[in-house]
Structures are given as structure tokens and as C-alpha cells.
Structure 1
Amino acid sequence: MRRNYSITLLSVGHGCVDVYQGAVASLVPFFVAERAYSYAAVSGIVLAASVLSSVAQPFFGMLTDRRAMPWLLPVSTLVGGAGIALGGVSDSYAVTLVVVAVSGIGVAAYHPESARVARLASSGSHSAMGWFSLGGSLGFALAPVMVAVVVAVQGLRWTPLLVLPAVVGAALCLPVLRALETRLSDAAKAPVTGKDDRASFVRLSLAVVCRSIAFIGLSTFVSLYATERMNGGYAAGTAALFLLYLGGAVGSVLGGALANRWDRVRVSRWSYVLTAGSTAGLVFVPGPALYLFVILTSAGLYIPFSLQVTLGQDYLPSRIGTASGITLGLTVSIGGLTSPAIGTLADRTSLQTALAPLILMPILAWLLFQTLPEPTVPVSDDTAPKGEDADVEHSPVQPGLR
């Protein structure tokens, strides 16, 4: 199976999983309207999806460092979808928390192994990994539309229909896993070369935490904020959330393209500087310009996203699964831990006041990136020969390849 075809299927499958991360925030306005949940209560639902995911992803990463577990991709996709599908079935707040948390575990199990498989299938190409990240971003972007179509008319009792993307995603990853079966097994047994740079990895992880706090804070409340600022209904809020995720899709592809011209650390630094300004515009500039700043902020937060994943893998070449689990999972999910604080502050003051501290997050990420080196590694990018044989020759299982 050719590299581009494999990455395409993996990207679509990635979108089918990440649609469930986006669905949590997309369901927030419906929980508020239909069940009269407070801001703090809906923040707790976001927290339920984040906590178990944040704890579980490094665990799954360590497991995949020890042995290949490609079967996790279809199974975890179905678990992630089932949790969200059951989210509107019961009126019980406790049951809703549990099933959404189960969805978070499914998402947690998916990402470390999928990043390893995508790294192998892509031959370590920045652009290919950017397309893989794009799939996840599009999943986020489609979540509010999907939820609105399913839930807006008939209410939360229709959420079981939301399991359909999981079924599609699980089916799409199967041909890729069959094609890569031998190489995945060989990769797990391959000797590790290269030296870990744990200090840089820790600083990188802190930067990803800052990015996560900003993005999850916005994804949780931007729909309600746009509805409030624009004096609109569901349409105003859904449009803002859709643009937030759509901007992420643009940023994912742009990040890979820019990294082919400049190094990953430099691209990430400039992205965070620009994002600080656009976040301030989102919070304080009145009128329809809000939507422009939503797109700019999202793109700015997503330009470094896939770059940070590959940087983490290059900083920890002996623990690629663990590095993927932390950069894709733990540090990202930690942002969800701050959502209740934002919600509580919004209940006591206003949403604008509660969102204002998010402006500091890209600034802190920029400061941390000032201390990071670009790993010196052999280049295996788009200059590599195409086709299955070329993928084997330039396989990224040798640490350092990106």
C-alpha cells in the first residue's frame, strides 16, 4: 500500500476519532438548554472526558513501546464513539459523566498507537504527519455540525446516532493495518539508537500544556461566548465553534509546510507570538470580527501541533509511544482540568473576564520554545522515494527520522 493512500485512510480514521473530542464541547450548549446545567456543571463534563484521557494516554504509550498493539486503533475508535453516543441517553448527570469519561479512555487508547503507525506509514514526513493531524482537526471541525444535525431538532435522546463515525473509522484503519502488519511487528523489535533529551522534552511538554489550556478553554466556551456577544442563537455559537475547529485544520497543514522550509522550533515560536495577539482580539474586539479572530487563533494554535508531536518523538527516540502519549494526550488533556476554573469564574463574573487569562498561554509557550533546540537528525521527508519499497528503506522506526 502506497504511503499517500495509507496516510489518507489514517487521516480520515483520525478524524472519526477526534470528532468525539469535539463533540464533548459541541454538546455543552444542549446540556445547558435542555438540562439547565450551569457553566461549572458543563465544565465538569469536559473534565470527565479529559481526566481519564490524560491519565491513560501515557499508559497506553508505554504499552505500545513494549509491543505492537495495532488492534487498539479499531477497538479504541468504537469505544470513543460509544461513550459519546450514550451521552444523551440518561438524564442522570452521574451517568453522563461516566459515559463521556469512557469515551475519553477510547480516545486515549487511540492516539499513541496511531501516531506510531502514522510515523511508520509516512516515512517520517513532516507534510504527511501534517495531513494526519489535519484529519483530527477536521474531525473537531465537523463535530459541532454533526451534533447540531443530530441533536438540535430532536434533542439529546438522539445521540446514539453519533456512533456512526466510529464505525466508519474502525473499518477504514483495517486495510492499513493489514498492509503494515509485518513492518509494525519488525518496528517493535528494532534496536533503539539515539540519545534521549529529557530536559528538552519536559520543556516541550509544558509548552503543549499552555497550548492545551488555551485551546480547550476556547473550545468549551467559545460557542456560548459567541452566542452572548452576537446576541444570536445556536447558529451563532455553532458557527464560532465550527470556525475554531476549521482554523485548526488549516493550521495543521500549514505547520507541516512551514516546517519543510524552516525548522520546527522556529515555526512554533512565531506561531505562538501571533496567537497571543489573535487571542486578545477574540476576547476583546467587538462585533463580527470575533469570527476572524477565532480562525486566526485556532490556526495559530494548530500550526505547532504536529510539529510538537514529532519533536517529542525526536527528543525521546527510545520511547516514541510514551512521547506520543504525552504530547498528544497527557499535556493536551490537562487543559481540560482548567475548564471548571474558567466556568466557575464565568459564573461569578462574565465569560469575557474568564477567557481573558487565556491570552497569557501562547506567551508562556513562546517563552518555553525559546529554550528548545531543534534536534539534529537525518532528513527523511518528501524527498524520499515514493511507494512501498521506498517506505521500507526510509522507515521512521529508526529513531531520529522525522
Structure 2
Amino acid sequence: MDVYQGAVAALVPFLVAERGYGYAAVSGVVLAASLLSSVAQPLFGALTDRRPLPWLLPVSTLLGGAGIALSGVGGSYGLTLACVALSGVGVAAYHPESARVARSVTRGTGAGHRGMAWFSLGGNLGFAAAPLLVAAVVGTGGLRLTPLLALPALAGAALCIPVLRDLARRRASAADAAAKRGRDDRASFVRLSLAVVCRSIAFVGLSTFLSLFATQRLGGGTAPGTAALVVLYAGGAVGSVLGGALADRWGRVAVARWSYLVAAVALAGVLLVPGPALYLFVALTSAGLYVPFSLQVTLGQDYLPTRIGTASGITLGLTVSIGGLAGPLIGVLADATSLRTALLPLVAMPLLSWALFRALPEPAAPEDEPEPAAPEDEPEPAAPVEEPEPAAPEGEAASAGGGP
């Protein structure tokens, strides 16, 4: 599924080259993919809180692929917006239920955030594959070949059908029953959501314009831009797994907080340091933004344990997709000034996430909560006292000694 989220940004340089779109126009395409997704994901999350909907996984995968596949068929700007919006609806339907299933598999094992890290790794690999897939298809035959991009969706839907339906029905229900014993911490969840919004603005803004920025800085056609996107998404794959491992030692909140500081410094390096060092700073920025990614999902679920679907829809959906709302503003500013000037304010976003994480507590994950201890004043049961066997009468004892 995340191939199609990454494909939107990967299509940007081809839309500029073939259709002559400006910065504002291509940021509008990214906004169309994000807007419906950002609104719809919490709604799908609320639905899955009421009951598991495993059939959403293959259906939403097909919707996501269909939207991107049709985006290059017509030359109309409005039709392109409608197609990528359709893909965004598919993304919105997929993530809350898939996050529920991923968490239910690891609940009770003590490894919830590590399991979510591996789940996020799959998505990040899809992001990383998207620029290569788009370059291989659209780069060779133009936008008219985008229908070929539907093939991963068909494969993904086929894999979902025999496996996820039964898994979601059996395990999501058990996870919900266990989760509803917890208590919601709404204030912490709001602060977490604001931190994810800031992270989203930085990541979506950078990923939307990175290929164009790399092309301007390094030259050589679309190849440097494609390479920069691959590094961005591949760094995210590494960062997701690294986040789960680091959180085992230092805790989710502390790891996320320091990762955002690294991301702020690295993002400044992307925009200010000249030459091929751009790729190094892109990798560091990606890791810094993605180390907290899976940790934020499980933190949201633990802050709202009675509404895991809603928490997943917001942390994976609304707050992530809302970064696309800043895209048109960046595009307009870039058209008026320069792309570097328009991207510089993004450096402040990880710093705001760091500040918000400083006020967050580390919740006890449901699978890590200890079993309730017995009351202290309850005495331990005494060991059973062995009663002596009754002595035999003297006559019987004498006869037992042998012989009359």
C-alpha cells in the first residue's frame, strides 16, 4: 500500500516535465492525495473500534493502486487530482485496520513497539520502492504507462485475502477486550498528535520537493531527484527498525525526543550544505524522522487504550496526512522566492516535535503491565502439618513382630 503514497511524490518531476506544472500545481496534487486521507482515516479508525473490518485491507489496497494507475491517463489537472484523491481514500481505509492487526499480533509478547517497527519497515520499503518503480515505468514510457503501476496492488490484495481476514477477526477482538481495561490519557494523546503533525509537515514538505531540489543542486536530469527520494525512503526503513531496538533500552519517549533533534540538524544540512553531501544529510534526516514513527503509533494506542482504531487512524492518518496541507504554501512561496527559501522553515518542525515530547510521560504498554500482586496483609497459607499415624494396639504390635 505505501508504494502508492511514495508514488505521488515520485510522479512530481514527471508532471513538471510533461505537463509543465509549477510548484504550486504539483503541491496541489500532493494535497489532493493527503486531504481525503487525513479526514477519512480517523473515521475508518472509529469504525474498526466498533468491530474488526479485515475486508478493508484488500479493498483499500486496490483503491490505492487504482488511483495512481489512472492519474497519468488523462491530461486534465482536475482528473489527476481526483485520481490521487481516490488513492488517498484507499490509504485512509487501510492503515487503521492494518495497525490494529499488527498490534494484536504482538500484544502479550512484551514487544508491541518492536512489532510495530517491523510493520512500519514494510511500509517504508514500499516508499523506497516507489521512486524506482515510477522511474522504471513512467521514465521509460511517460505518464501514459501509469496503469502498469496497478500491478503491486493486485499482488497485495491477493496476499491479503487468504491470510488477514481470519487473523484480524480472531486477534483484533481479543486485543480490544484486553485494551478496554486501561484508562485514556487524552491530554498526552493531544500533545503526541501535535508532535506528529509537526513531523508530518517536515516530512511531506521535504518529500514533495526533494526530487526537484536535488535536480537543481546537482543537475543531470531526473536521476539525482530519484536517487534522493530512494535515500529518503530507505533511511526511513532503517530508522523504523532502529527505533524499536533503541526503545527497548531507553524508552519510546526519550528515543523519539532525541531523534527529532538529530532530524532538525540534518534537515538544515540538506538545505545548506553544498554538493553530494546532500545524500548523507537526506539519510540522517530520514532516520531522525522515522525512528519515532512506529513508537508514536504504539504511544497513541497506549494513551487511548479503549480506542485503538481511532488512535491508529489519527497517528497514522490525520496527523501524518495533514502535512500535505502545508504543501501548497511551500509551493506558492517557492514560486515567489526560491525552493531553498521555501523549505527552510521546515527545520523548525522537528524542533517543535522535540519540545512537545518533553512534556510526555512514558506509558506502561498493556502487554508490559505486571500481574496484580496479592494484598500485603493477606497471610500466606501455612504448610500442611503431617499428622502421625495412630499407634497400633500392643497385642497387634507383638504379633507384628513375628511368631507367637
Give TM-score, length-normalised by structure 1. Answer: 0.89
Corresponding residue for residue 311 of structure 2: 323
Per-residue deviation, residues 233-268 of structure 1 (Å, max 9, x unmatched): 111110001101011001010001101111100000
For residue 274 of structure 2, give the secondary structure of its aligned residue in structure 1: coil
For residue 193 of structure 1, give the secondary structure of its aligned residue in structure 2: coil
User: Which of 334, 337, 360 in structure 1 is aligned with 2:325?
Assistant: 337
Does 2:26 correspond to 1:42?
Answer: yes
Shift, 1:169, TM fit: 1.1
Change (3 A) 1:284 1:120: same
What is the rounded CA distance, in whole Å, between the counterparts of 1:218 and 1:119 in structure 2? 29
User: Which of 25, 49, 54 in structure 1 is aligned with 2:38?
Assistant: 54
Give unmatched runs, 5+ long, in structure 1: 1-16, 382-402
Superposition map of 1:64-143 within 5 A: 64-123=48-107, 125-143=112-130
For residue 128 of structure 1, give the secondary structure of its aligned residue in structure 2: helix
Shift, 1:283, TM fit: 0.5
Shift, 1:380, TM fit: 4.6
Does 2:154 correspond to 1:167?
Answer: yes
For residue 318 of structure 1, give the secondary structure of its aligned residue in structure 2: coil
User: Which of 125, 128, 133 in structure 2 is aligned with 1:146?
Assistant: 133
For residue 317 of structure 1, give the secondary structure of its aligned residue in structure 2: coil
What is the rounded CA distance, in whole Å, between the counterparts of 1:377 and 1:54 in structure 2? 26
Does structure 2 conserve the Cα–Cα contact (< 8 Å) formed by 1:49 and 1:101? yes
User: Which of 209, 215, 218 in structure 1 is aligned with 2:197?
Assistant: 209
Shift, 1:193, TM fit: 1.0
What is the rounded CA distance, in whole Å, between the counterparts of 1:98 and 1:377 in structure 2? 40
Does structure 1 conserve the Cα–Cα contact (< 8 Å) formed by 2:179 and 2:305? no
Per-residue deviation, residues 59-97 of structure 1 (Å, max 9, x unmatched): 000000011101000000000000000000000100110
Amino acid at match of 1:113: E
Shift, 1:190, TM fit: 6.2
Change (3 A) 1:318 1:185: closer
What is the rounded CA distance, in whole Å, between the counterparts of 1:187 and 1:372 in structure 2? 25
Corresponding residue for residue 294 of structure 2: 306
Per-residue deviation, residues 191-244 of structure 1 (Å, max 9, x unmatched): 711110000000000000000000000100000000000122111110001101
Change (3 A) 1:273 1:187: closer
What is the rounded CA distance, in whole Å, between the counterparts of 1:115 and 1:69 in structure 2? 12
What is the rounded CA distance, in whole Å, between the counterparts of 1:184 and 1:127 in structure 2? 18
Corresponding residue for residue 346 of structure 1: 334
Change (3 A) 1:261 1:186: closer
Give unmatched runs, 5+ long, in structure 2: 370-404
Corresponding residue for residue 252 of structure 1: 240
Rg larger in 1 or in 2? 2
What is the rounded CA distance, in whole Å, between the counterparts of 2:217 and 2:320 in structure 1? 28
Give the share of equivalent positions with the same residue, in percent.
73
Does structure 2 conserve the Cα–Cα contact (< 8 Å) formed by 1:68 and 1:188? no
What is the rounded CA distance, in whole Å, between the counterparts of 1:363 and 1:188 in structure 2? 35
Does structure 1 conserve the Cα–Cα contact (< 8 Å) formed by 2:54 and 2:165? no
Does structure 2 conserve the Cα–Cα contact (< 8 Å) formed by 1:32 and 1:38? yes
What is the rounded CA distance, in whole Å, between the counterparts of 1:177 and 1:302 in structure 2? 26
Does structure 1 conserve the Cα–Cα contact (< 8 Å) formed by 2:128 and 2:231? yes
Change (3 A) 1:146 1:134: same
Amino acid at match of 2:131: P
Does 2:212 correspond to 1:221?
Answer: no
Per-residue deviation, residues 139-176 of structure 1 (Å, max 9, x unmatched): 11110000000001110000000001111111222333
Does structure 1 conserve the Cα–Cα contact (< 8 Å) formed by 2:271 and 2:340? yes
Q: Which moved more, 1:169-178 or 1:37-46?
A: 169-178
Corresponding residue for residue 397 of structure 2: none
What is the rounded CA distance, in whole Å, between the counterparts of 2:366 and 2:182 in structure 1? 11
For residue 228 of structure 1, give the secondary structure of its aligned residue in structure 2: helix
Give TM-score, length-normalised by structure 2. Answer: 0.88
Shift, 1:188, TM fit: 5.1
The CA RMSD over aligned residues, in Å, is: 1.4
Shift, 1:179, TM fit: 4.3
